[in-house]
Amino acid sequence: MNTRSRALVTRNESKIRLHSEKFQMAWQARLRLVGGDKSKVGWPQLKKEDIRCMQDPEEHSRNAEKRRKATERRLRKESELREDGLLGEEEDDEMVTPLRIEWSKAWARSRRWTEEVRLLEEEWRRLPVTYAHREKVWIERAVAVPVGSIPFAEAEGMVAYATKQSQMYRDLAVRAEVMRTEPKLARGKKRQVWGSTWDPIVPMDNGDENDAENSDSDEEDDERGDIDSDEELLLGGEVDDG
């Protein structure tokens, strides 16, 4: 563990200890107010084993999936034994309730997945329609700029900005369609990215130096939370188009 991680862990532990001590002090004070009767405090007493980290949601989902598969294997094995006549009537009666429970869970999961598929299909249907509408809105704004009524430089800037916004929504629609239709890669595979080809007519620049400068600049922007373009701002959901 490096110094930064150790400092983070230490800071979190100190916060946990501080809040637990505040809770215990408040609980003890309330206990004295009610004459020492714990049933009248209204809060549960905080014990040491109650202070633990929240379980990772992904780990919790994996554990639940493992338990579900283990239950399915056990029920399948018992069903096969029952069909072969190796289980008695008592065991057969005891199988009814677990089987009903598992069937109900599977039916509920199937309905939920079917609903999620329908929602996803509807979202993908609406996405290009929304982008096309916003692109049209910005084109109309560019056309509606009063070129003769305002200074030329101001009108030129307004038209350029509206054109940029309309092009941004057009690019977002194309990118979304590419993401929707491209084949899904297997686990551990990386998608091939085609870079720009070298043109002998265009002079080469100092790519390494520019890449290093851009990398340093990107790291500084990430630390400050800067956004490079309106497209990133829109994808982040921080601005609602007017």
For residue range 190-225, what is the model confidence (pLDDT) as tens digits? Answer: 766 655 544 444 454 554 545 555 555 555 555 555
Q: Span 3-29, mean pLDDT?
A: 84
Model confidence at 68: pLDDT above 60: yes
Q: What are phi and psi of 114, to 5 degrees?
A: -60, -40
Question: In this predicted structure, what is the pLDDT of residue 89?
Answer: 52
- pLDDT tens-place string over residues 132-189: 999 999 999 999 999 889 999 999 999 999 999 999 999 999 998 888 888 877 776 6
Q: Say whether pLDDT at 107 is over 50.
A: yes
pLDDT of the residue at 18: 87
Confidence of residue 75 (pLDDT cuts 50, 70, 90): confident
Please give the single-letter amino acid code of residue 128.
P
The reported pLDDT for the residue numbered 135 is 94
